[in-house]
Amino acid sequence: MKRIYFLLALALAVSCNRSKPEGRPVINLVSDIITDDKNPVHGLVTDYDAADPLKSIYVAGAPDRCKPILASLKTCDGHDNADGRAVSDGLPDFAGEVVCTILDFANTPYGRYLDAGKEEDLREVTVRTVLSAMDTLCFINEFDKNGVATKPQAKVVVLASPYASAYGQFDVDSLFRVLGCNLPVVYPLRSMLDEVFEGRNTGAVVGVVAEKDSLTAGSYTSYVAENGPAGSDCVVLNTDPSAPDPLLAFLDSCLVAGKTRPFDAILVDDSSVDADAMRLTLKRITTAGNEESLSYGKLVAPGCRILDVMSTVNSECYRLLRKDNLFRLDIAYPRSIEYKTVATSDGTIVLTQYDDGDPLR
């Protein structure tokens, strides 16, 4: 297959000369790909066929985000593999699948782009990450750009970071929609919000438990407002590792701040937080007659749910593969292949194989 260096060397320089699609502006990179049919990436996206069971699931983003999702995909067992019922059958849901990771050592932490006022560059990182999951080649290492290896292509891409949802989702979606690409991309933050807002015509109050180095509270709030019904609100609490009960810590912070509007859902956007323990706490404080319900019960609306990244990704990937009949159906445990992004001396960022060792090798 033709080697597309453009995808392997993820340089940030783009042409600004071609016209952009009409409507809300996409970044220059996406505009270039869409409008130049001689660009090899235009052909890659236009001709791409994700409906191939032998292709792979990709998880991409910050390493500390990808690792827990990878582990969850390899071990989750929430469905009967024969008929799809939501019952455990003792076999991993993604048996036989190959789950690839793109650990983005080169670009993280993503917040530094925003600190430097480079939002377009951050959006471009999201687009290039998806394109690299679609390509068939990577470099053997960052020091030899003539040494290339074959890598699987994606049938589903999970963009693990909430930065991808807030900065880049529009550009990826626009590129795929205009060029007719059928590759599904999962944004966990967006998927959780879609579940919260499904069937709602009125605003919802969403709580977010987030790690310290994640999106700012303002970015979460803006994203919820943009993607939810009018009147939706968002309250964010950065995780406190010393808190014995993260849900009570979250609700206590709301009481101190005078926020009394009840939550319709709480999103756990931090893999280090035990979402199942939070669900047990939620059940306890919403039980009539429980002493804690007197203090905290008024802060949760009837039917309030706790959603977390890992469960959401598991469900969404299973739904997509089941819907389009994309399971490999191999009798084997899931296996994984890892890649990493590396910044090179000439200013490019390349994708290389990764052995889970020193990320700087």
pLDDT digits (tens, 9 = 90+) for 186-230: 999 999 999 999 999 999 999 999 988 899 999 999 999 999 999
Which alpha helices (DSSP H) does 107-211 contain, by range?
111-115, 119-134, 162-166, 169-179, 188-197
Q: Tell me the angle at which helices 119-134 and 169-179 cross, rounded to the nearest 10 degrees.
A: 50
| pLDDT band, very low/low/confident/very high, at 147 (cuts 50, 70, 90) | confident
Domain ranges of the chain: 5-186+331-353, 190-308
| CA 296 – CA 257 distance, rounded (Å) | 14
- Is 190-308 a domain of CATH 3.40.50? yes
Q: Provide the pLDDT for residue 158.
A: 98
Which residue, among 130, 150, 129, has the nearest Cα to 140 in the 3D structure?
150
Question: Is residue 298 within 8 Å of residue 305, measured between CB atoms?
Answer: no
Look at residue 10 and tell me whether its pLDDT is greater than 80.
no
User: What's the whole-model pTM score?
Assistant: 0.90
Q: Provide the pLDDT for residue 65.
A: 95
Strand partners, 148: 139
Question: Is residue 188 within 8 Å of residue 313, measured between CB atoms?
Answer: yes
Q: Provide the pLDDT for residue 118.
A: 97
CA of residue 89 relative to chain centroid, distance: 27
Look at residue 13 and tell me whether its pLDDT is greater than 50.
no
% of the chain with per-residue pLDDT over 90:
77
Q: Provide the pLDDT for residue 358.
A: 47
What average pLDDT does the segment 132-144 reach?
A: 85
Look at residue 314 and tell me whether its pLDDT is greater than 50.
yes
Q: Provide the pLDDT for residue 23.
A: 57
Which tens digits make up the pLDDT trace of 84-112? 899 999 999 999 999 999 999 999 999 99
What average pLDDT does the segment 9-34 reach?
A: 63
| CA 43 – CA 176 distance, rounded (Å) | 12
* Strand ranges, E, within 160-246: 185-186, 205-210, 233-238
| pLDDT band, very low/low/confident/very high, at 51 (cuts 50, 70, 90) | very high
Q: How many CB atoms lie within 10 A of CB 121?
A: 17
Look at residue 322 and tell me whether its pLDDT is greater than 70.
yes
| CA 274 – CA 268 distance, rounded (Å) | 9
Q: For the sheet with 205-210, list strands across it.
A: 233-238, 205-210, 263-269, 300-308
Mean pLDDT taken over the chain: 89
Question: Is residue 264 within 8 Å of residue 196, measured between CB atoms?
Answer: yes
Question: Is residue 159 within 8 Å of residue 129, measured between CB atoms?
Answer: yes
What average pLDDT does the segment 300-307 reach?
A: 95
Greatest CA span in the chain, whole angstroms?
69
Q: Provide the pLDDT for residue 11.
A: 37
Look at residue 241 and tell me whether its pLDDT is greater than 90.
no
Look at residue 346 and tell me whether its pLDDT is greater than 80.
no
What average pLDDT does the segment 168-183 reach?
A: 97
Look at residue 20 and tell me whether its pLDDT is greater than 80.
no
Q: Provide the pLDDT for residue 292.
A: 86
| pLDDT band, very low/low/confident/very high, at 159 (cuts 50, 70, 90) | very high
Beta strands 144-150; 185-186: pairing state: unpaired
Q: Provide the pLDDT for residue 145.
A: 67
Query: Of 295 and 247, which is predicted with more confidence?
Result: 247
Look at residue 154 and tell me whether its pLDDT is greater than 90.
yes
Q: How many CB atoms lie within 10 A of CB 295?
A: 14
What average pLDDT does the segment 148-164 reach?
A: 95
Query: Of 6 and 209, which is predicted with more confidence?
Result: 209
What average pLDDT does the segment 14-35 reach?
A: 70
Q: Provide the pLDDT for residue 315.
A: 97
Please give the radius of gyration of the chain, using alpha carbons only, rounded to the nearest integer: 21
Two tokens at 279? Answer: 């669900």
Look at residue 234 and tell me whether its pLDDT is greater than 80.
yes
